[in-house]
Structure 1
Amino acid sequence: MKIFEVLNFHRELLIRLHDSGVRLEDVRYIDLYADYSRMLADGEKVSYAVLMLADKYAVSERKIYSLVKHFNKDCMPHAV
């Protein structure tokens, strides 16, 4: 299957996701955010969770703070 065919087949979903503020690269960080949420629920401090996850996922601490902020935003789809 060609990239065009995949995009064309999933066009409506991709447009809705984009309009809601979802970025295609966000899918790469689902596990990271799930781990972050679990660590906070377990009582870990934010700075400790960020430090541990930066090491585990080989990303910067700043990237994690940015992802957390992004993932916590409400989806606000544009009117169609």
Structure 2
Amino acid sequence: MQFYYQNSGYGHKIIRMLFEFLFTDESINSKCSIEKIAWDTMLENTGAQYVYENKIGALRVGVRKGCWKDQIGKWRTVVDYEIRKK
């Protein structure tokens, strides 16, 4: 299924807005200062990897092989990312 806004260039803008909010929101940062955000994506998700690395400037920090099982029991590999407060 193709969504109307998919591949329209909104994804990286939304991710940047979310990260900016998390890094700067006083109510969040008064309780726990956010200095970096870390996440992962499946190795096969090359579209997301392109966006993370080339559109939002995230750093690829590692690859974890066979770190979780999907719903059909297949071991999956993920790529780890992080972005630091600038």
TM-score by length of 2: 0.29
- More strand as a share of residues: 2
- More helix as a share of residues: 1
